[in-house]
Amino acid sequence: MSHEKLPEWERKSIEYVAYHENLYTTIKDGQESDAFENWIWREFETPGISSLNKLVYGQKLSHLDWAKIIRFVALQDVRTPSMYQQTMRKWYLEMPSFLNETLESCVAALEDGNLREVSDFESHKGQFQDLFRTKKHDLGNQDPGRIGLSVEVDIGRKFWLRTQKHLLTGVARQLHNHRWSVITPARGFQ
């Protein structure tokens, strides 16, 4: 059904229906920032290219070449739109209980006088620190002498990019502990 204020429908391929041109950009100071894309290019893609070329042309790989290839493989795993969707689903489901459990453990630690546990939590925020907002609330007459705490976080592309950076600079190091092999097709096959 058409409407005079809407353009006529066009037949188009559905190939780009879910395409997002700037999946890896963020807005910083009102401007688009390619900082993440530049970081992955500098830290993973550029170093990996020469090692991947050696691999493709059957040249001997050094330990450093393997390390660069492993980092490149890790990057390819975490940077896909599919991983974005999986990560967002996971965080939307798990973040509320994660925040509640964390707040409850911090409150319990404070009540027990265990400030070390609270400072451990603070030190683990690391590269996510500016994404979490902690607020204190005066409970007034409800509970004199006590305050309420709340934590807020925006879950979106910026959070996802930080998650990728966390995975690539920390968790992905575990991939180096495994033995890696290259499998090539039999002669006559591609």
pLDDT tens sequence across 6-36: 777 777 665 555 555 677 887 788 888 888 9
The two three-digit tokens of residue 124, written as one number: 């683990």
The answer to whether position 112 is within a domain reads yes
The answer to whether position 67 is within a domain reads no
Residue 33, strand partner residues: 26
Q: 131-134 — which CB contacts under 8 Å span 24+ positions?
A: 131/158, 131/159, 131/162
| pTM of the complete model | 0.69
Number of H helices, E strands in the chain: 6, 4
Question: pLDDT at residue 60 above 90?
Answer: yes
**Domain carrying residue 151:** 93-163
The answer to whether position 122 is within a domain reads yes
What is the arithmetic mean of pLDDT over 66-70? Answer: 95
Instruction: Convert the pLDDT of each residue in 144-188 to its tens digit.
Output: 767 777 888 888 888 899 889 989 998 888 998 999 888 888 888
The answer to whether position 53 is within a domain reads no
The answer to whether position 85 is within a domain reads no
The answer to whether position 140 is within a domain reads yes
User: What is the domain count for the chain?
Assistant: 1
